[in-house]
Amino acid sequence: MDGFLALLGPGIEDAAEETFTLFSQDHASQDLGMLDPSAVTVDITIGTRDFTISQSPGLLQSNREGGTTGAAVWRTSIFLAKWLGSAQCPLFEQGVLGKGSTVLELGSGISGLTASVLASKITRFIATDQAYALKLLRQNIDTNLPSARKKTTVSSCRVDTLPLDWEQDDVPSFLSSHDLSTGVEVVLASDCVYNYALIEPFVNVCAEICQTRQHAEQAEQRAERPTLCIIAQQLRQPDVFEQWLEEFMRKFRVWRLSEELLGGEADRGKGFCMHVGVLR
């Protein structure tokens, strides 16, 4: 953990300055960021692996209360999955993640890309979203796990797909009921903040999950590495981004991953950014 944080360099001190730096680079996107929202299936290549993802254009266009943005594949999720799957991913090089690790993803949507990429590298992956997305999410994960593709048992990773509503659910109860009372190594999220209303509940959920490890450490009187919170985003609205970052920085120490640490995804990731948070 210390080695990884040292690679990140100085933390972010000013949300307005960070926002100006990112949005002055002329990479901000005016589109929503969906790969192909009208397609029933999309094919994606990550490293040497090919993925076929089923989408739900009908659900995406419906008027479901609470939104339907998770019903399609978003470019940011591909950006994050490619980084996690790269041979040079610093999370694995620096020992933040390994074969015994547990990762929880917020706002997974329907693609299951991060779960499918990480399943051969960790022990457990928990993909969460609102209930409407879970059936297709489960289908895509089952289709694209290495064992499904090769018809052999390549990974012993347990992959769960669970409903989690940031505004309605009690996070400590959710974690304890799913055998996560000692926390997780990493929390992942991609493109989860796209309007003001989501900022506070999203940051609160991130903090509550990360606090679980702190509480477990205090109860057992032994040192545990803190949970890392990794947030990938497409640059769209500077005002929304800045307000998110201000709220996030109240509860987390925050760093941005440099182009060097993004490795081969840096050039392909123009218009995207990735931040790391450690609970204060």
**How many angstroms separate the CA atoms of 224 and 221, rounded?**
9
Please compute, for residue 214, the number of CA atoms within 13 A of its CA located in the half-sphere on the CB side.
10
In the chain, the number of structural domains is: 1
Strand stretches in the chain, DSSP E: 41-46, 49-54, 102-106, 124-129, 158-163, 186-190, 228-234, 252-256, 272-279
CATH code, 241 = 3.40.50.150
| Confidence (pLDDT) at 267 | 56
**How many angstroms separate the CA atoms of 134 and 117, rounded?**
18
Predicted confidence (pLDDT) per residue in 241-266, tens digit: 999 999 999 999 999 999 999 986 65
- How high does pLDDT run on average in the chain? 88
Q: Which residues pair with 253 in a beta bridge?
A: 278
- Output the CA angle 82-85-89, nearest 5 degrees: 100
Q: In the predicted model, is pLDDT for residue 229 greater than 70?
A: yes
% of the chain beyond a pLDDT of 70: 85
Domain that holds residue 19: 2-279
**How many angstroms separate the CA atoms of 198 and 53, rounded?**
26
Q: What is the mean pLDDT of residues 31-54?
A: 86
| Confidence (pLDDT) at 2 | 85
Predicted confidence (pLDDT) per residue in 1-11, tens digit: 889 999 999 99
Q: In the predicted model, is pLDDT for residue 171 greater than 70?
A: yes
Q: What is the mean pLDDT of residues 73-98?
A: 94
